Amino acid sequence: MRLGDRVRSVVALLGIPAGSIGSVKEIGSLFIVVEFEDGRIGYYALRQLRRLNYAGPTPEPPPRIELGFSSETVPAGSHLCLLPVTCREMAPTAFDFLAAGLTSGEKCLCVSSPRWAAGLRRRFSGNGFSSHLESGDLVFVDPSEVYLPANEFTADRQLQRLARAIADLGARRMRIFARAGTWFKAVPEDEWWDYEMRATRVLGESGTTAICAYHPEGQERGCRQRAEVTHPYLVTGRRLSPGWASPV
């Protein structure tokens, strides 16, 4: 790949569909910057682009799915970050996201403290989803069952654990809502954000759509900025916007 090459995208970004044609404007260590004919800019990994004279097969883009809280759709396997303005925003967003998955026949997993999960469970029971709770299509688990203890946490180990957990559930399509409490601050900071950045690939390859939710009280400036740059999509005020990380 060289500067000025004409390329076609093979994945969709927010507002830029798969198959869009543009020119390579910059080649960085992580991303290739592509400018499209209408002036939009996209950031892609090398494998997400094909030169126009590329002779190999173009992979089928993943299906787009409903989020429940937004009229916009994202590719299955997307990695989103919820940065709510107020605490009241989190539970309705989680409910709408997971309910949309259940309605579409996906297996859903909610990772949160038992106390917070109890309120969300009641919301599902009271809105016609009791059968999904009984069947195991919707599962609530404590963060300690998903994340390694702080003294054992590394990005590599946690990525292995994530991949193993997805494989063990055995669902063709799945979505996860993970509510990060303040406990994650005990994890080595660089390891945590390295994990968040690299989880995008694991999720994309497995077709698992996930939202990482950060409590408003934990969104000090540094945390919020790093959350924005490690996720391809952001959700704030129940609105979807592009993050800085390119989908893989």
**Domain coordinates in residue numbering, the chain:** 6-51, 64-242
Lowest mean pLDDT across 51-55, 121-125, 134-138, 195-199: 51-55
The pLDDT tens digits for 62-112 are 899 999 999 999 999 999 999 998 889 999 999 999 999 999 999 999 999
- Using alpha carbons, select from 65, 64, 27 the residue that is nearest to residue 49: 27
* Mean pLDDT computed over 140-144: 93
Which pLDDT band, with edges at 50, 70 and 90, does 59 fall under?
Answer: low
Per DSSP, the chain holds a count of helices (H) and strands (E) of 6, 14
Question: 64-242 in CATH: which number?
Answer: 3.40.50.300
Spell out the residues 6+ positions from residue 70 whose beta carbon is closer than 8 angstroms to its own.
235, 238, 239, 240
Model-level pTM greater than 0.85? no
- Using alpha carbons, select from 56, 54, 34, 58 the residue that is nearest to residue 44: 34
- Indicate whether 2 pLDDT > 90: no
The dihedrals phi and psi of 2, each to the nearest 5 degrees, come to -130, 160
- Indicate whether 29 pLDDT > 70: no
Domains 6-51 and 64-242 are alike in CATH topology: no
Angstrom CA distances, 49 to 76, 83, 96, 191, 208, stand at 19, 30, 33, 29, 22
Q: Which pLDDT value is given to residue 243?
A: 86
Which pLDDT band, with edges at 50, 70 and 90, does 129 fall under?
Answer: very high
Structure tokens at 45: 């990994």
More confident residue, 189 or 183: 189
Q: What is the sign, positive or negative, of the torsion defined by CA atoms of 69, 75, 77, 80?
A: negative
Q: Which pLDDT value is given to residue 55?
A: 59
Q: What is the mean pLDDT of the chain?
A: 89
Architecture of domain 6-51: Roll (2.30)
Please report how many Cα atoms fall inside a 13 Å half-sphere around the Cα of residue 163, on the Cβ side.
Answer: 14
* Mean pLDDT computed over 13-41: 86
